[in-house]
Amino acid sequence: MPDEPRKPRLLVLASTYPRWRGDYEPGFVHALCRRLTDRFEVVVLTSRSPGAARSETMDGVEVIRYRYAPQWMETLVYGGGIVAHLERRPWKLLLVPGFIFGQYLAARRLVKHRRIDLIHAHWLIPQGMIARWLVRHVAPVPFVVTSHGGDLFGLRGRWLQRIKCGIATASAAMTVVSEAMRQEVGELGLRPQRLEVLPMGVDMRDRFTPNDTTARCTDEILFVGRLVPKKGLSYLLDAMPAVLAQRPDAALTIAGFGPEQKVLQAQVARLDIEASVRFLGAFTQADLPALYRRAALLAAPFVRDTSGNQEGLPVVLMEAIGCGCPVVAGDVAGVQDLLGDHADRVCVDATDTSALAEAILRVLAHPAEARERALSLREAVARRVDWRVIAHGYANLLESRLTGAVGAVSDGTPRWGYGK
């Protein structure tokens, strides 16, 4: 019998990746990779972290973790993200060269010895930069680069701008996770051969689903996310005294971790709302649905931080909507893509703490109406962001670049539901 044809080998370059099964770190890159294994042999190259295996297979994905510093110093990525770590502890800039060149050297070995057919770089900087170096100096392997938000909206400056433009031009295709990001690409002068809007997905069929047997609390406000400025938690805390003045039994539950935790806890003490605020720490993906199903609402007060960084398309918001949880969200550009016609009733300028408090109080005062609106929003969103739809879109795009079919620059129409 003839041998089965070899699947094309896809090398995925990433910064953030689950360190082990059940890790609470963001897992959206792995969620995509494991859904590509039916059409690709997927090899992920990411950074090492204390306690993580140097190499392993997770859900059919080969994961290789490279060294970039002595093990006890490999703290640049996890626990809040690279940008947040650098802002809080500038000495970690010393880790950046090793982080970048360590991944380049490890990727170079893989491209030379493993017959890599295609590269998917998550984040323009540094992974897109590394992919461009590989193409120029090692082998002409086509690469697709995906920007998730912070790397596009943040990391400003003339030098960084030139790097981003070079990466986009050299790529076989570029994806962004929202229409607002597509517009930013044009404003920044990036000119990829092909540009698509393809968000990360959410499992709305099996995991993030409503549960009619779980009763919602009447006064629990939920926050989920990393404790970094762009998530806007400080504004939510400032809004809580006004909420408590009208709803004394209201309580804020915070599920997340990050470098701002001590600062935020000090803010809680200063506002004298410690009895109404709980910091629960990190939760795994498997444990989050129970929180979304129980809460009266999810407050996601996204903002654009002082560096220009903001959310691309917030996965937390999609997860909550999947569970039928009412939401109040900060009015940053990428959220409009997700909410569509519902945005006016859900979004608020989170820096206006009075408006934020009023939006939360409206949801708490009208729970039946809020839940009906949440289920209507879920129905509209699920058709566009369920992982089965999103993964199919990425697989089609990657395969088209593999064959060398270079199309014209996209006309700008968001490819929501790509491949359906």
Which of 398, 409, 417, 408 minimizes the C-alpha distance to 118? 398
Residue 358 located in a structural domain? yes
Question: Beta strand pairing status for 220-224 and 251-255?
Answer: parallel
> Which residue has tokens 């002082």?
306
CATH number of the domain residue 297 falls in: 3.40.50.2000
Q: What angle separates helix 367-385 from helix 387-402, to the nearest 10 degrees?
A: 20
Q: Which residues contact 1 (CB under 8 A, 6 or more apart)?
A: none
Q: Is 27 within 8 Å of 203 (Cβ atoms)? A: no
Are 148 and 254 members of one domain? no
Are 261 and 346 members of one domain? yes
Are 46 and 174 members of one domain? yes
Round to whole Å and give the CA distance between 329 and 359: 9
**Alpha carbon 334 to chain centroid distance?**
12
Tell me, what amino acid is at 304? Answer: R
Which of 19, 23, 80 minimizes the C-alpha distance to 50? 19
Residue 211 located in a structural domain? no
DSSP symbols for 60-83: TEEEEEE--S-GGG--SSTTT-HH
How big is the chain by its Cα radius of gyration, in Å?
21
Q: Which residues contact 196 (CB under 8 A, 6 or more apart)?
A: 173, 174, 175, 176, 393, 397, 410, 415, 418
Are 23 and 162 members of one domain? yes
Residue 105 located in a structural domain? yes
SS3 37: coil
SS3 5: coil
Round to whole Å and give the CA distance between 175 and 374: 29
Q: What share of the chain is helix, strand, coil (3-state, %, to 5)?
A: 45, 15, 40
Are 294 and 175 members of one domain? no
- Lay out the sheet containing 327-330: strands in order across: 277-281, 251-255, 220-224, 297-300, 327-330, 347-348
Q: How many domains does the chain have?
A: 2
The predicted pLDDT at position 90 comes to 85
Which of 50, 319, 21 minimizes the C-alpha distance to 199? 319
Are 226 and 289 members of one domain? yes
Residue 227 located in a structural domain? yes
Round to whole Å and give the CA distance between 396 and 392: 6
Per-residue pLDDT of the chain (420 residues; tens, 9 = 90+): 456 678 999 999 999 899 999 888 888 999 999 999 999 999 999 999 988 999 999 999 999 999 999 888 888 888 767 777 777 788 888 999 999 999 999 999 999 999 899 999 999 999 999 999 999 999 999 999 999 877 777 767 788 889 999 999 999 999 998 888 898 899 889 999 999 999 888 998 889 999 888 889 999 999 998 898 889 999 999 999 999 999 999 999 999 888 889 999 999 999 999 999 999 998 888 899 999 999 999 999 998 877 666 666 778 888 999 999 999 999 877 777 777 777 778 889 999 999 999 999 999 999 999 988 888 888 888 878 889 999 999 999 999 998 643 333 343 334 444 333
Are 24 and 45 members of one domain? yes
Residue 416 located in a structural domain? no
Round to whole Å and give the CA distance between 108 and 234: 42
Q: Is 171 within 8 Å of 145 (Cβ atoms)? A: yes
Residue 215 located in a structural domain? no
Are 286 and 197 members of one domain? no
Residue 292 located in a structural domain? yes
Tell me, what amino acid is at 345? Answer: R
The predicted pLDDT at position 346 comes to 84
Residue 214 located in a structural domain? no
Instruction: Please give the C-alpha separations between residue 293 and each of 8, 60, 320, 407, in angstroms, as whole numbers.
Output: 40, 31, 8, 43
Are 352 and 259 members of one domain? yes
Please name every residue paired with 281 in a beta bridge, in sequence order, or none if there are none: 255
The predicted pLDDT at position 358 comes to 96
Element (H, E) at 176: strand 173-176
Domain interval for residue 342: 220-384
Are 234 and 332 members of one domain? yes
Instruction: Please give the C-alpha separations between residue 387 and each of 32, 57, 131, 318, 320, in angstroms, as whole numbers.
Output: 8, 21, 26, 11, 15
Are 376 and 391 members of one domain? no
Angle at the Cα of 232 from the Cα atoms of 91 and 220, rounded to 5 degrees? 130
In which region does residue 121 sit, left (phi positive, over 0), alpha (psi from -120 to 50) or beta (all else)? beta
Q: Is 45 within 8 Å of 13 (Cβ atoms)? A: yes
Are 168 and 225 members of one domain? no
Q: Is 295 within 8 Å of 328 (Cβ atoms)? A: no
